[in-house]
Structure formats: C-alpha cells, structure tokens
C-alpha cells in the first residue's frame, strides 16, 4: 500500500515537472490574486494553507521563484525550514527522559515497602532484581511509601525541655605572670 502511494506521488511529481509546469504557474498566479483580493484594504495576511501551498510548490516546481510576487523566495524557504524544524521537534518529543515504570511494578514496590518497613530502596531493588524486574534504585526510592514521622522539636522547645539539666561553664584559661 505504501509503495503504491509512493509511486503515485513520484508519478505526479514527474508529470508536474514536465507537462504540468504551465498548470502550476497558473495555480500559483491565481492563488496570489486570490490572496491579494482577500486582503486588499489591509496588510497582506497569509494563512497556514497559503504557506503550505508555497512550500509544496517550491518542492515540486523548479520555476516557482519566477512566479512568486507577493512574498520573497527567501520567506518561502524560511517557512519550509520552520516546518521542518517543527516536524523534527514533534517527532523527537517522547524519546527524552527515563522510561516509565509499569503500573504493576509501582504497585509491587509500594506493597513491598509497606510490608517491610525496615527495608530501604537498595534492599527492595535487590529483591526486584531477583524476581527479574529491571528497575533502577532511584525509581524504587521514588515509588516507596513515605512514612509519616512526627516532626522533630524546634531548638526553642529543646532548650525549654532540657533547661533543668543544662550547665554552662567557661574553660577559657589565660596564663599570666603573677
């Protein structure tokens, strides 16, 4: 199916280069007239479809620069480059970062950390490796259950609680001649 579509596109491209050149020129000129009539009293405004048409024409027709009047050829090339950049940004968007840990492995990590409160991330990581589950130790630590510990006392409450047992002494000695 894909090869049929590719051969059809190549055939259209070949016919457009040989016999279709006058038709492409008529298409380009009529399009420019339509854009100018559409935006006559105001500043020239091109839609995305207009830009796509000119980028497409620049790819399949060698004489597109001679028929272009409303914008500079460098502008069309810049549109094509911007579209190419956006395409590759879109294509490479999901390949960054660490792969996600499957949901059942996350549930297993939580279950193991709840059942064994004294086990840390290295121990759970080792047990998962014994089960044949390849996951990083940092990921294990990330998905472990956090224990709610009471907050530690402040410095002021520590001093108030231990005031009766504290003693201050100065052991600074200065030797003198007398």
**Residue 140: band (very low, low, confident or very high) from pLDDT cuts 50, 70, 90:** very high
**Residue 115: band (very low, low, confident or very high) from pLDDT cuts 50, 70, 90:** very high
Where b means 16+ CB within 10 Å and e means fewer, 6-32 reads: eeeeeeeeeeeeeebeeebbeebeebb
**Range with the lowest mean pLDDT among 4-13, 19-28, 42-51, 127-136?**
4-13
Give pLDDT, residue 146. 87
- Of 144 and 152, which is predicted with more confidence? 144
For the chain, give every domain's residue range.
Answer: 2-91, 103-143
The mean pLDDT value for 98-106 works out to 89
Who's near 80: CB < 8 A, 6+ residues apart? 55, 58, 59
Is the per-residue pLDDT at 2 higher than 70? no
pTM (predicted TM-score)? 0.39
């Amino acid at each position: 199916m894909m090869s049929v579509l590719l051969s059809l596109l190549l055939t259209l491209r070949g016919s457009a280069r040989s016999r279709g050149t006058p038709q492409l020129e008529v298409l380009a000129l009529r399009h420019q007239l339509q854009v100018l009539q559409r935006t006559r009293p105001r500043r020239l405004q091109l839609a995305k479809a207009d830009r796509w048409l000119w980028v497409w024409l620049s790819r399949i027709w060698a004489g597109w620069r001679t028929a272009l009047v409303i914008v500079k050829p460098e502008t069309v090339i810049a549109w094509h480059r911007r579209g190419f950049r956006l395409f590759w940004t879109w294509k490479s968007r999901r390949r960054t970062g660490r792969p996600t840990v499957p949901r059942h492995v996350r549930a297993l990590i939580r279950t193991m950390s709840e059942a064994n409160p004294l086990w840390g991330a290295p121990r759970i990581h080792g047990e998962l490796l014994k089960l044949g589950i390849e996951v990083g130790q940092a990921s294990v630590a990330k998905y472990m259950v956090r224990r709610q510990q009471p907050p530690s006392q402040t410095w002021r409450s520590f001093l108030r609680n231990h005031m009766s047992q504290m003693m201050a002494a100065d052991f600074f000695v200065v030797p003198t001649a007398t």
